[in-house]
Amino acid sequence: MSKLVYSFDEGKTQSKEILGGKGYNLAEMKSLGLPVPDGFTITTTACMNYLNEGEVVTPSLKEEIENAVKDFEERAKKAFNSEDSLLLVSVRSGAKFSMPGMMDTILNLGLNDKNVETLAEKTGDRRFAYDCYRRLLQMFGEVVYKIPMVAFNSYFDRYKEKHNYELDTDIPAEGLEHIVNYFKELYLSEAGKPFPQEPEVQLIESVEAVFKSWNNDRARVYRELNDIPHDIGTGVTVQEMVFGNSGEHSGTGVAFTRNPATGENKLYGEYLINAQGEDVVAGIRTPKEISTLKEKAKDLYDEFVDITKKLEAHYKDMQDIEFTIEDGKLFILQTRNGKRTAKAAVEIATDLVEEGLIKKEEAIMMIEPKSLDQLLHPSFNEKSLESAELITKAGLPASPGAASGKIVFSAEEAKHSAENGEKVILVRPETSPEDIEGMIAAEAIVTTHGGMTSHAAVVARGMGKCCVTGASDLKIDGETRTVTYPGGEIKEGQVISVDGATGKLYLGEVETTANEQSEAFTRLMNWAEEISDMAVRMNAETNDEITAGFDFGAVGIGLVRTEHMFFGEERLVQMRKFIIAETKEERVEALNKILAYQKEDFEKIFRQADDRPVIVRLLDPPLHEFLPQTEKETKEVAETLDITPEFLNRRIRELSEVNPMLGHRGCRLSITYPELTTMQTEAMIEALIKVKDDGIESNLEIMVPLISTFEEFKTLKDVIETRAKELIEASGQTVNYSIGTMIEIPRACFIADKIAKECDFFSFGTNDLTQLTFGFSRDDVGKFIGEYEEKGILENDPFQTIDEAVGELVKMTVEKARSVDPDYKLGVCGELGGDPRSIEFFNEIGMSYVSCSPFRVPGAILASAQSKVKQDV
Amino acid sequence: MSKLVYSFDEGKTQSKEILGGKGYNLAEMKSLGLPVPDGFTITTTACMNYLNEGEVVTPSLKEEIENAVKDFEERAKKAFNSEDSLLLVSVRSGAKFSMPGMMDTILNLGLNDKNVETLAEKTGDRRFAYDCYRRLLQMFGEVVYKIPMVAFNSYFDRYKEKHNYELDTDIPAEGLEHIVNYFKELYLSEAGKPFPQEPEVQLIESVEAVFKSWNNDRARVYRELNDIPHDIGTGVTVQEMVFGNSGEHSGTGVAFTRNPATGENKLYGEYLINAQGEDVVAGIRTPKEISTLKEKAKDLYDEFVDITKKLEAHYKDMQDIEFTIEDGKLFILQTRNGKRTAKAAVEIATDLVEEGLIKKEEAIMMIEPKSLDQLLHPSFNEKSLESAELITKAGLPASPGAASGKIVFSAEEAKHSAENGEKVILVRPETSPEDIEGMIAAEAIVTTHGGMTSHAAVVARGMGKCCVTGASDLKIDGETRTVTYPGGEIKEGQVISVDGATGKLYLGEVETTANEQSEAFTRLMNWAEEISDMAVRMNAETNDEITAGFDFGAVGIGLVRTEHMFFGEERLVQMRKFIIAETKEERVEALNKILAYQKEDFEKIFRQADDRPVIVRLLDPPLHEFLPQTEKETKEVAETLDITPEFLNRRIRELSEVNPMLGHRGCRLSITYPELTTMQTEAMIEALIKVKDDGIESNLEIMVPLISTFEEFKTLKDVIETRAKELIEASGQTVNYSIGTMIEIPRACFIADKIAKECDFFSFGTNDLTQLTFGFSRDDVGKFIGEYEEKGILENDPFQTIDEAVGELVKMTVEKARSVDPDYKLGVCGELGGDPRSIEFFNEIGMSYVSCSPFRVPGAILASAQSKVKQDV
């Protein structure tokens, strides 16, 4: 018959299957020579035997456990019920897979009416001893005898209330004694039997309770949901309790092997003498700096430092270590990879490489790509935040950063105030392309509607500008120019602070801390670029954005949205003339006036990009976005255009759509008005020729949006090629450009092979593709998507992380395109191009590149490198 | 060397590949013993030889042609240039596939300056002779010598203008002589050579021109577009011209073997003595009834009747025959399957089966399924239509039928006027569910926006009510209560007539003809039901619709939309209370008041359906559809609900959506408000129990709309089952129901196998599925879909006939569902369920049933039967 109980020392020969995760880890620490509190593990086999054979502890198992306890007592030089050295233990479950829903822990097992006094004497803390006993009674009662926890808690709370004790720790020893007596009565009334006084009985009954908990409802449901087999059972770990409050030669503390805030390679932590963990948490006593332990107990300190080094070397990462000293003996209770700030993460990872502890590939894997964004933006000073008055936390952290300024309610005001040198926060129900200049002028943008992928969010991220969206408990009153929020009211011109990393808003100005790219950051990014085999481009239009994106390592521009090239005072007037025109001639005349501006825009972009590729998307939004929204504006615009407001209103009505997302936009507009595409082609090709004259070999990729049929693409390709050919021939220059399309409509995915034959490249527009695959409007989904995530109907927001079905569509498209040409150029320029989990998927299916807003480029490069490392494993 | 020229008599041994379509058909008619004008065909091989070998007519081909002409002259007892019996011929191209874009026809070949006089003498019609010559010069000049047709036409038109001749036939013989002379001069000036006088030269040059036309640009493009090989060539057919105007023993006419309007089995047609086809068309002389020919020339008449019988027997269908009598000799010029009315089509097809000429399966294939709809609705009297004043033809024929009435501008007015016994036409920009009662009250519905699948169109078809949508050149002015159209203005209360079969609107009342189901129709439908192996259900809600649908042969209800069960005075008040409620209790209270009504609705439906299956779809539209639209209405509603208009307005704003189609509706509403689903479940299950008490074994299928994730379905299934179980247990009855879902979101298709495991059936909502696959909003697509069809960007409107990519999604879903259960129940309840071509596709991929509006049921049954017949071939 096989062995069913292993001491921690013996455990290193056994697998996680046999010992369970907890037992296995303790055996591992032991094998490293660490002074962990001793104990033993009962195997998962013992558990399954018990469950399969009538739930009886066989005499042989009982004997093995008793022997294990005996050996253990000898090693620990402690014993159950000993008056000199009282042995108390914890009992914990631990299956191969971590499983919430199963019984977790019973502490202080071994205490009884008699030896609780021994403990009190030994620790000199009667209150502590009775508190330990009180907890044992509660845990054992609930877990083993199924007495409802509420029965214990309600009495405990009533007792506090009656005696007017605020904190648990305010209850004196006598009070706890009283409570212990009541709890023992509860055993009789609720379970019909007394609390067992013999530690051996407590232990066996606890082990049985852990075994049984394997089959409780919550555990079964959890296993079903997570595809964990029902027949692998759980291990039971029995471990010695140690007490840091056993006198002046005892203590407890926590330490990080490096500084978790800065990453500095120096032991960082604190401890308390004659105390236990709880005391640190309660904050009643002030702990001491870890280095001062050296003076108190040099040997112990040296031993601890040795151990921290050993642990770092073993786990190859900064460790967060809990320790206790009992009577001058050091115990390591727990070690784990320590949490750290983004800055520290970068420093630690690069240092570990320098120190030869890890390889570059491993360093790459240690950084959360999303955290890099945080590194590149200013943030609020933690201290200042504590005293700041919160306006709301209902907003979404749409674009990171931190900024303060006076609130304004329109783009014009924002522009105007900024020109006067004032810092402003633009607060709007939502934003539209017309607000661009105001958004550029503002320090931060706040909207009361819209989600993480609303216009405001996408544009702000592009600009690297702080933005909070969907702050739904703010009400903007445009007439009185005030914002009301649950706790009060803010008037125009009042200063607020916006935290784009958390979505919170504060009253008044809050101090910020600038974040700069460290040397370690640069080193890390260089490694990531080396390792990654999928390119990262940026979605960018303005010259500042483009500069930032190239600085951050983008290898090209994956998306220039040309919408903004139709805004700006004179252009907008002409665009509106185009829209109200009745003949093609009038339309062309208006467009020709826009042409000169756009040619200049493109020239600047091409000069910045040099020979790096630039994808320019043709005009995408519906025409009504260029028309005025309010009656007042309509009147003004009509005056400018020299038409009646009635005529303009009619045109606005004609262009209004029930579902604009599914309406007359994208390539559909250009099919109706090919002159639009002709003009944009002229602007691009003429700019191309101009910069070529200066020796710049541009790499222009023209992109047609919203294709759903092959014929749409072919029609517009012909329009582009015809005009481009004329201009190039006339110039005598040789310039290069290619023509591709956006894949953002499900139908295009199905005919991708046909399109690919005529088309130079595809770029996936994952926003629209997700909208259409789900039938979710990004603008409206805010009403229920939160609820969907809460209720588990959606695991993730599919606009943030690629959905499985959208992924299938993308994969199918990739396969169809590559069936036409194995090297077909495929990229992603939708929002998901900046999401690490999505990037991993895109890399796996062989995407040529992803493209995202400039500030997300470093994270994307890192995610791409990580996905390569994973593939290579 | 192979033979390159075949007389019609020899042709029957050769294939269509060798002779081309035209030559083959003429040989076939000859082989039936029909007196077709004689001639010969030059093979497609000759054409390809010519094109491949330097475009030279080889001596051997020339010799074969000359011999063929000689043989032909002998058989016809006519000859080129003969003064006694002048031979004139036509030359036509004819490839294996019919090919527009190639040279078509040269008539009267063989005429010249001299023998034109012979012809004049022989026919006694100098005008006719010169007109023949004039046409030859034009056709030959354009086709053979490439003289632009406009050169001929402009002179011809100028000549008419100068002499003030209105019709071509007004020009006297002398005028035509003059024109002929001018045309001959054109040859010299434009082509640099004279018109060839020798018939043999005319013939050879014409043959070469036909050969060359195989390779002209239009023909090549056409072949590329239609996947026709470039190397199969065209045949050239040379046929004797016959003249019905050669004296009193000549004549011409047209006859149908049966009455094309009624289907009556009686020869139907007319003829003119001493005339040619043109004279019949010009309408100068009144033709005579075909039966009167018997008196004039009994032998000829008998011969003709014999031929018509032979032709019907051969082609197994009613024939439309053109004939000419030349000097007492009968010639059949053409025969083809005759066009007929829907009514005649049904009569003829069933008669042909009775007569033993065809099988039932063949009869089924002879009827256009779409035409049945026309049979079931009244239509305007043809004669009355001719004199009616057209308002517009810009509208779409959204739902067939014909009706007249006074125009009204709102649903309330429609209801009010109808209650006063007035016939009204409801004219609206578009309709919404709130307009239902007005739509029921109106004789017809006209909208200025929206397409064939807009709300108005779908609802009207469901009701079998005449409807025209998208009449975009009407402008409704709600204030002055007038409609302006390009030609004038109509005031409220004026009478108009609406033709739902053509989309046209007329001023005043137009007389209608009722259509009733004939005995033949019933017989045909019985055969179709026998043959079809895919079931047809109806989409219907009202009791009238359901009665109609079952009468028309539906085997169940495929879709009960429950939206209308929330309208109606008291219900709407409660629904609005539900919407403005702030707590679940208030919501449930409001719903409970609606419950009683809905239970009654369901009871009626279940009683009508008896044991036939009934799919009920849970509430689908977004909540804002239940709220008032105008300020005035809002004020009234606020008063009724005893709240402030401000509060109501805020709720309206909160519920408004940017893209309602992609918003908070369908199952998403029920996830947020499960009490909605609970109430609908109660209404259905209680009704089920009630009718079961009366012995009715209902077959209820509850359908959850707009599923995109598995969890949505599971959540609502649990809500339904929980409540249903309680009610059924409490009742002590046993009742049956199943729970399925609509597949209308692309994402659902990808996870169909997972859903199928938990779900009893799928019903495809092809409208939404098409909207999402294309990214087209049905409400907005009107702006460009016409242009898309015109420009060939879309072959069909995908909302009318299933698109290839949508089809792939449906097929994939079918396969996934059937992988779970090979008999999985799958249906279609979207608009395409009534479209014959789509029905064929659905049948091929194994759909269990289709469902459509009641009046489309017969067409759907027929289409389903046709598709079965095709599969069995």
Residue A281 pLDDT > 60, yes or no?
Answer: no
pLDDT band at A1 (very low <50, low <70, confident <90, very high): low
Residue B128 pLDDT > 80, yes or no?
Answer: yes
Give contacts of A774 with chain B, Cβ < 8 Å. Answer: 708, 745, 747
Residue A717 pLDDT > 90, yes or no?
Answer: yes
The residue of chain B nearest to residue A710, with distances taken between CA atoms, is B793
Residue B804 pLDDT > 90, yes or no?
Answer: yes
CA distance, residue B484 to nearest chain A CA (Å):
15
Task: Among B712, B783, B808, select the one facing A750 at the smallest CB separation.
Answer: B808
Q: Is B805's CB within 8 Å of A747's CB? A: yes
Structure confidence by residue, pLDDT tens digits, B738-789: 999 999 999 999 999 999 999 999 999 999 999 999 999 988 887 888 889 8
B779 and A CB contact within 8 Å: yes
Task: Among B659, B715, B806, select the one facing A659 at the smallest CB separation.
Answer: B659
Classify residue A651 as exposed, middle or buried by CB count within 10 Å of its CB (0-12, 13-18, 19+): middle
The residue of chain A nearest to residue B657, with distances taken between CA atoms, is A780
Which residue numbers of A belong to the known binding site? Answer: 561, 617, 744, 765-768
What residue ranges in A31-166 does DSSP mark as E strands? 39-42, 89-95, 105-109
CB A443 within 8 A of CB A405: yes
Q: SS3 of B711, please?
A: helix
- Characterize B24-56 residue by residue with b for buried, 16 or more Cβ atoms within 10 angstroms of its Cβ, and e for exposed: bbbbbbbebebbbbbbbbbbbbbbbbbbeeeee
CB B9 within 8 A of CB B305: no
The residue of chain B nearest to residue A803, with distances taken between CA atoms, is B747
Which residue numbers of A belong to the known binding site for Mg(2+)? Answer: 744, 768
Q: What percent of chain A has pLDDT over 70?
A: 98
CA distance, residue A775 to nearest chain B CA (Å):
5
Q: Which of B132, B377, B449, B455 is catalytic?
A: B455
pLDDT band at A501 (very low <50, low <70, confident <90, very high): confident
Q: Which letter does DSSP use for residue B517 in this model? A: -
Classify residue B532 as exposed, middle or buried by CB count within 10 Å of its CB (0-12, 13-18, 19+): buried
List the 795-824 stretch of A: residues with Cβ below 8 A of B: 803-806, 808-809
The residue of chain B nearest to residue A706, with distances taken between CA atoms, is B775
The rounded distance, in Å, linking the Cα atoms of A88 and A94 is: 20
Classify residue B103 as exposed, middle or buried by CB count within 10 Å of its CB (0-12, 13-18, 19+): buried
pLDDT at A219: 85
Q: Which of A344, A345, A375 is nearest to A261 (CA)?
A: A344
Length of chain A: 873
Structure confidence by residue, pLDDT tens digits, A453-482: 678 887 888 787 899 998 988 988 888 899
Q: In the numeric block, which tokens belong to residue B38?
A: 């004689």
CB B435 within 8 A of CB B411: yes
The residue of chain A nearest to residue B450, with distances taken between CA atoms, is A658
Q: Is B780's CB within 8 Å of A711's CB? A: no
pLDDT at A309: 94
A776 and B CB contact within 8 Å: yes
Q: What percent of chain B has pLDDT over 90?
A: 69
Q: CA separation (Å) from B110 to A477, B133, B139, B274?
A: 90, 9, 13, 22
The rounded distance, in Å, linking the Cα atoms of B492 and B426 is: 10
Question: In chain B, where are the structural domains located?
Answer: 5-241, 382-513, 532-622+657-872
The rounded distance, in Å, linking the Cα atoms of A172 and B674 is: 51
B636 and A CB contact within 8 Å: no
pLDDT at B1: 58
Q: In the numeric block, which tokens belong to residue B405?
A: 């009435």
Task: Among A660, A708, A715, select the one facing B658 at the smallest CB separation.
Answer: A660
Residue A421 pLDDT > 70, yes or no?
Answer: yes
Q: Is B783's CB within 8 Å of A664's CB? A: yes
Q: Which of A30, A122, A107, A132 is nearest to A72 (CA)?
A: A30
CA distance, residue B462 to nearest chain A CA (Å):
23
Residue A484 pLDDT > 80, yes or no?
Answer: yes
Q: Mind spelling out the 3-state secondary structure of B249-268?
A: CCEEEEEECCCCCCCCCCCE
pLDDT at B782: 79
pLDDT at B654: 84
Give contacts of B665 with chain A, Cβ < 8 Å. Answer: none
B662 and A CB contact within 8 Å: yes
Q: Average pLDDT of A793-810?
A: 94
CATH code of the region A532-622+657-872: 3.20.20.60
CA distance, residue A514 to nearest chain B CA (Å):
38
Active site residue B455: yes
CATH superfamily of B382-513: Phosphohistidine domain (3.50.30.10)
Structure confidence by residue, pLDDT tens digits, B545-571: 999 999 999 999 999 999 989 988 889
Q: Which of B466, B749, B829, B852 is catalytic?
A: B829
CB count within 10 Å of CB B780 equals 24
Task: Among B672, B775, B792, select the one facing A711 at the smallest CB separation.
Answer: B792
pLDDT at B515: 72
CA distance, residue A669 to nearest chain B CA (Å):
9
pLDDT at A278: 64
Q: In the numeric block, which tokens belong to residue B37?
A: 């004008």
Structure confidence by residue, pLDDT tens digits, A382-409: 888 888 999 998 888 888 889 999 999 9
CA distance, residue A490 to nearest chain B CA (Å):
21
Q: CA separation (Å) from A294 to A279, A290, A302?
A: 22, 8, 7
The rounded distance, in Å, linking the Cα atoms of A140 and A135 is: 8
Q: Is A662's CB within 8 Å of B776's CB? A: yes
Domains B5-241 and B382-513 share a fold: no
Structure confidence by residue, pLDDT tens digits, A514-523: 777 789 999 9
Tell me the average pLDDT of chain B.
92
Give contacts of B794 with chain A, Cβ < 8 Å. Answer: 709, 711
The rounded distance, in Å, linking the Cα atoms of A597 and A282 is: 65
Q: What percent of chain B has pLDDT over 70?
A: 98
CATH code of the region B5-241: 3.30.1490.20
Give contacts of A668 with chain B, Cβ < 8 Å. Answer: 784
pLDDT band at A604 (very low <50, low <70, confident <90, very high): very high
The residue of chain B nearest to residue A707, with distances taken between CA atoms, is B774
Active site residue B829: yes
Structure confidence by residue, pLDDT tens digits, A185-209: 999 999 999 999 999 999 999 999 9
Q: Is B661's CB within 8 Å of A659's CB? A: yes
pLDDT at A280: 63
The rounded distance, in Å, linking the Cα atoms of A681 and A660 is: 26
Q: Which letter does DSSP use for residue A37 in this model? A: P
pLDDT at B818: 98
CA distance, residue A121 to nearest chain B CA (Å):
58
Residue B279 pLDDT > 70, yes or no?
Answer: no
B744 known member of a binding site: yes
Give contacts of B622 with chain A, Cβ < 8 Å. Answer: none
Q: In the numeric block, which tokens belong to residue B860?
A: 């759907």
Structure confidence by residue, pLDDT tens digits, B190-221: 999 999 999 999 999 999 999 999 988 888 88
Angle in degrees, 0-180, between the axes of helices B59-76 and B44-52, rounded to the nearest 10? 150
CB A9 within 8 A of CB A28: no
Measured in degrees and rounded to the nearest 5, phi and psi for residue B5 equal -135, 130
Q: Which of B489, B495, B484, B368 is nearest to B444 (CA)?
A: B495
Task: Among A744, A793, A806, select the one facing B715 at the smallest CB separation.
Answer: A793
CB count within 10 Å of CB B398 equals 28
pLDDT at A633: 87
Q: SS3 of A379, please?
A: strand
Give contacts of B788 with chain A, Cβ < 8 Å. Answer: 671
Structure confidence by residue, pLDDT tens digits, B450-498: 777 678 887 888 787 899 998 988 999 888 899 999 889 999 999 999 9
pLDDT at A443: 93
How big is the CA angle at A149 (ends A143 and A152), to the nearest 5 degrees?
120
Structure confidence by residue, pLDDT tens digits, B56-104: 999 999 999 999 999 999 998 999 999 988 999 999 998 888 776 666 6
B222 and A CB contact within 8 Å: no
